[in-house]
């Protein structure tokens, strides 16, 4: 047999060449032009064959299915779905992966077979075939922190709306886990990554961008090639809290900050000092903590140990505020009668503390959705350039603040 015939047989392994076609090929086809014409003829015949097969196979599919029972323990393959629907595996692939237009009747038959047989497509095979996955990465620093669930939900919801999936990495503030997560995401060929952590090494961002993976950061990155940044207006939020407390009559206001190595915590500390100074007040009653409940308790006890208790305490996040409230209660002080307390973030628990916590709200669900949108914007833009997005805060007044005692 000639190379042309062998190539045809390799390309069209499931096509039956009739005896008449073989006879024409062996005895009539000798030159290249004729061979090319013959090849086109076979391919056209193949198309007609599958069209006829898709149209008429529905009536014979049940009989074929009876001859090949499957045990519940066996995985259903695309070939099994094709047999049930009476179509080719190629047609099933096009319907499942939405890679080519298929007639409504055939598509309906294939989808019915998929449902009946509980078939799940092989995402790994699709990734190997296309060179790119349907995954977007999301990196958070502490999944046990109530700040993150709403953010994760917002990001994942936006991804699902675009028919994409989310790979989640929780670093737990561990650099080795962070590096392992980056390696995992690059290996899985994610389309983009949202780095929603308070710390992230520059070289890890560079590892993503070197692989043409878009990155959006939370108060960390600088917009550029394959990079975007979401900036929360922490200074505005701190100012809103100070305006509220000053308006109630407070002049002795303390601040429990977050770790000053974190950019976001440092911005809040600077915002506190600036806001107090604008009212002619001294911001000297400031203690650094760790953004955790236990740290808030320790910091509040330290403030009380300085002598006279402040009339109000502003905290860098809600977990710190919850810890401070507990310490105040243990010291026999009433909130807000003796000391007013304000948090930052507006996590779920802020609304159910006793009393409910006045706080600065950061719209975390919106941050998650914005992060996903920023990644897609980079991919769609000319030159893959990212930009900065601003998220504003809002004051939420509850029962933990009141005018100071005269």
Contact between 321 and 341 (Cβ < 8 Å): yes
pLDDT exceeds cutoff 80 at 24 = no
- Residues 304-308 have a mean pLDDT of 91
* pLDDT of 44 strictly over 60: no
pLDDT at position 51, please?
A: 57
Q: Where in the chain is the domain with CATH 3.40.50.2300?
A: 133-233+366-390, 234-363
pLDDT in tens, 52-68: 555 555 444 444 444 44
Burial label, 145 (beta-carbon count in 10 A; 0-12, 13-18, 19+): middle
CA distance linking residue 395 with residue 362, whole number of Å:
9
Whether residue 371 is predicted with pLDDT greater than 60 in this model: the reply is yes
pLDDT for 315-348, tens place per residue? 999 999 999 999 999 999 999 999 999 999 999 9
Tell me the percentage of the chain whose pLDDT exceeds 90.
62
Tell me the average pLDDT across 269-293: 96
CATH 1.10.260.40 placement within the chain: 64-121
pLDDT of residue 33: 55
Of 5-14, 168-177, 366-375, the range with the lowest mean pLDDT is 5-14
Find the mean pLDDT for residues 375-386.
Answer: 93
CATH classification (class only), 133-233+366-390: alpha beta
Q: Which fold has domain 234-363?
A: Rossmann fold (3.40.50)
Q: What is the pTM of this model?
A: 0.71
- Homologous superfamily of the 64-121 domain (CATH): lambda repressor-like DNA-binding domains (1.10.260.40)
């Amino acid at each position: 047999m000639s190379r042309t015939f062998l190539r045809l047989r390799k390309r069209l392994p499931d096509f039956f060449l009739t005896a008449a076609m073989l006879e024409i090929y062996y005895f009539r086809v000798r030159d290249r032009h004729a061979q090319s014409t013959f090849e086109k003829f076979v391919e056209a015949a193949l198309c007609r064959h599958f069209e006829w097969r898709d149209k008429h196979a529905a009536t014979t599919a049940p009989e074929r299915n009876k001859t090949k029972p499957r045990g519940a323990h066996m995985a259903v393959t695309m070939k099994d779905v094709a047999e049930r629907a009476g179509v080719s595996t190629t047609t099933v692939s096009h319907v499942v992966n939405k890679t080519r237009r298929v007639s409504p009747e055939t598509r309906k038959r294939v989808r019915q077979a998929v449902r009946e047989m509980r078939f799940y497509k092989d995402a790994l095979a699709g990734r190997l075939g296309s060179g790119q996955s349907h995954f977007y990465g999301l990196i958070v620093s502490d999944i046990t922190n109530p700040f993150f669930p709403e953010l994760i939900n917002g990001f994942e919801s936006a991804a699902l709306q675009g028919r994409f999936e989310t790979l989640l990495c929780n670093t737990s503030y561990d650099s080795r886990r962070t590096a392992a997560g980056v390696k995992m995401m690059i290996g899985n060929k994610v389309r983009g990554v949202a780095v929603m952590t308070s710390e992230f090494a520059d070289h890890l961002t560079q590892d993503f961008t070197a692989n043409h993976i878009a990155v959006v950061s939370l108060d960390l990155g600088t917009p550029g090639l394959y990079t975007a940044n979401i900036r929360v207006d922490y200074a505005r939020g701190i100012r809103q809290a100070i305006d509220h407390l000053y308006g109630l009559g407070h002049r002795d206001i303390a601040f429990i900050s977050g770790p000053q190595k974190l950019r976001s915590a440092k911005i809040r500390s600077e915002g506190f000092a600036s806001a107090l100074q604008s009212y002619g007040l001294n911001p000297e009653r400031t203690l650094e903590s760790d953004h955790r409940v236990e740290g808030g308790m320790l910091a509040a006890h330290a403030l009380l140990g300085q002598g006279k208790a402040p009339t109000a305490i502003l905290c860098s996040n809600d977990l710190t505020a919850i810890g401070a409230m507990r310490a105040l209660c243990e010291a026999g002080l009433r909130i807000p009668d003796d000391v007013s307390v304000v948090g930052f973030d507006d996590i779920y628990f802020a609304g159910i503390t006793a009393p409910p916590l006045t706080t600065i709200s950061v719209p975390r669900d919106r941050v998650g959705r914005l992060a996903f949108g920023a990644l897609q914007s980079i991919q769609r833009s000319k030159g893959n350039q990212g930009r900065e997005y601003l998220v504003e805060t809002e004051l939420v007044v509850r029962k933990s603040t009141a005018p100071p005692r005269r």
